[in-house]
């Protein structure tokens, strides 16, 4: 096992870099103390999906096969101190397409790596990333390295992929910069008059149905798992009624996975679920994560039978109120495109996908499936009439899942 992380200021910031690859759940567990120490030093609000809690919890629910989870966690050390963690996984086999992807896909949203501030500020970060890539390709022989949905940041990552790799735009994430408001009243005042009236009208309509409350339950507290399950069941109904597909929400263990995520009351980081309740019954649920001053709105859902009362939008408003009360600086709606997000965000962050295609098989897969067949099929599904989408959605999920597994 590697030596424990040094966390004192006496440790020299950056020296010779040593890269390694961890390939097992036991190896992941052995990194816990160092990993958590690196998280605290980095304090990067865009790395929850690379956190030890998220990755280790996900791996507990994905233990099938001879290579459970395909864990490939790239680490870099300087002076025996962990300075970089890049959680990845290897999918496919020698008979199909061996792909290196961000660990926890498709559950995770942002692709990223956790980097020590000293390595970012003064160290050879670009050279370290290049060495990590070289080590991955040499040791694992992947057909494709696909580092997806990476938030725009410094130039080291695109520079490391430049030349041998490819960089592609992957859309944008929508988020609300809450530092622009003194409190919820200030936020409300800055809305247009018509928006304020519309939201008040929706809230009044809900109030007419009974006792409306907003509740927040943190990961690990009593009732958290039950509220997560209620939210996911409502989401599944919405997906069915609107003819949408997903590779994640219909998984049998999805609720158990999210329900197992903890929350740390000392730091405020971790999972939580909030809800609008009607006479004590959840009618809109939001499952999310706090991470160094940023709230990730991971999954939102509402009671389909009450859709005309817009309980989901009332929940969004209450979530922003809660974030402002807690001193959270950003309310992040993440990267999946949706029309409603424009009304609940004032900022966006560009996302990019970085890709290496070391083999002809990888080039063919990326060209045919990732860039052609899959986007075209998705566009056709979105353009199809609702009745047809509803009938085709289960088939589309099975085809997509089979293609991903065979890769």
> What does DSSP assign to residue 367?
I
> Which pLDDT value is given to residue 84?
96
Q: Which two tokens stand for residue 225?
A: 């798992």
- Average pLDDT of span 341-349: 94
Q: Are 97 and 33 in contact (CB under 8 A)?
A: no
* Confidence bin at 388 (pLDDT 50/70/90): low
Q: What is the pLDDT of residues 150-197, one digit of tens each?
A: 998 766 777 777 656 678 888 899 999 999 999 999 999 999 999 999
The pLDDT of residue 5 is 38
Work out the pLDDT band at 393, boundaries 50, 70, 90. Answer: low
Judge contact between 354 and 155, C-beta under 8 A: no
Half-sphere exposure of 304 (CA within 13 A, CB side): 12
CATH numbers and ranges of domains, the chain: 17-164 (3.40.630.30), 175-349 (3.40.630.30)
**Token code pair at residue 42:** 């980095």
**Sheet strands (E) in 153-312:** 166-177, 212-218, 270-278, 281-291, 294-302
Per-residue pLDDT tens digits for 216-247: 999 999 999 999 999 999 999 999 898 887 77
pLDDT > 60? residue 399: no
Strand partners, 272: 218, 288
- 352, β-bridge pairs: 150, 169
Taking the model in full, what pTM does it have?
0.88
Question: What is the C-alpha to C-alpha distance for residues 16 and 9, in angstroms, rounded to an integer?
Answer: 18
Give SS3 for 18.
Answer: strand
User: What pLDDT is attached to residue 2?
Assistant: 34
Task: Tell me if residue 347 falls in helix, strand or coil.
Answer: strand
**Which range is least confidently modeled, 3-12, 102-111, 182-191, 349-358?**
3-12
pLDDT, average across residues 350-377: 76
3-state secondary structure 31-85: CHHHHHHHHHHHCCCCCHHHCHHHHHHHHHCCCCCCCHHHEEEEEEEECCEEEEE
What are the tens digits of pLDDT across the range 297-314?
999 999 999 999 999 999
Which has the higher per-residue pLDDT, 297 or 360?
297
Task: Give yes or no for residue 11 having a pLDDT over 50.
Answer: no
Average pLDDT over the chain, rounded to an integer? 87
């Amino acid at each position: 096992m590697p030596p424990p992380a040094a966390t004192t200021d006496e440790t020299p910031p950056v020296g010779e870099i040593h890269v390694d690859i961890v390939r097992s759940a036991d190896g992941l567990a052995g990194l816990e103390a160092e990993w958590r120490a690196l998280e605290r030093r980095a304090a990067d609000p865009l790395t929850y999906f690379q956190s030890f809690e998220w990755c280790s919890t996900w791996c507990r629910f994905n233990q099938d096969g001879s290579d459970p989870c395909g864990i490939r966690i790239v680490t870099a050390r300087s002076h025996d101190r962990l300075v970089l963690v890049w959680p990845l996984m290897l999918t496919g086999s020698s008979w199909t397409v061996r792909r290196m992807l961000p660990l926890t896909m498709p559950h995770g949203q942002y692709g990223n790596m956790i980097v020590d501030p000293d390595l970012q500020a003064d160290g050879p970060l670009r050279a370290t990333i290049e060495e990590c890539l070289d080590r991955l390709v040499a040791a694992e022989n992947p057909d494709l390295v696909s580092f997806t949905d990476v938030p725009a940041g410094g130039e080291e990552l695109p520079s490391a992929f430049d030349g041998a790799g490819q960089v592609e735009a992957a859309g944008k994430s929508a988020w609300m910069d809450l530092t622009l408001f003194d409190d919820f009243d200030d936020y409300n005042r800055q809305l247009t008059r018509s928006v304020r009236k519309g939201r008040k009208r929706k809230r009044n309509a809900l109030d007419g149905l009974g006792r409306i409350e907003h509740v927040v339950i943190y990961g690990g507290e009593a009732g958290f798992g039950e509220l997560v399950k209620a939210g996911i069941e409502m989401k599944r109904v919405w997906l069915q009624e609107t003819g949408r597909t997903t590779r994640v929400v219909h998984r049998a263990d999805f609720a158990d996975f999210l329900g197992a995520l903890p929350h740390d009351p000392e730091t405020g980081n971790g999972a939580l679920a909030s809800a609008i309740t009607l006479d004590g019954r959840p009618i809109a649920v939001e499952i999310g994560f706090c991470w160094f001053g940023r709230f990730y709105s991971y999954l939102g859902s509402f009671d389909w039978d009450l859709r005309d009362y817009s309980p989901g939008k009332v929940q969004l408003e209450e979530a922003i109120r809660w974030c402002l009360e807690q001193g959270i600086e950003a309310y992040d709606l993440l990267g999946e495109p949706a029309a409603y997000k424009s009304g609940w965000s004032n900022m966006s962050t560009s996302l990019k996908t970085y890709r290496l295609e070391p083999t002809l098989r990888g080039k063919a897969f990326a060209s045919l499936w990732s860039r052609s067949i899959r986007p075209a099929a998705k566009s056709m599904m979105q353009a199809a009439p609702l009745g047809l989408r509803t009938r085709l959605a289960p088939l589309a999920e099975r085809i997509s899942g089979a293609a991903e597994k065979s890769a």
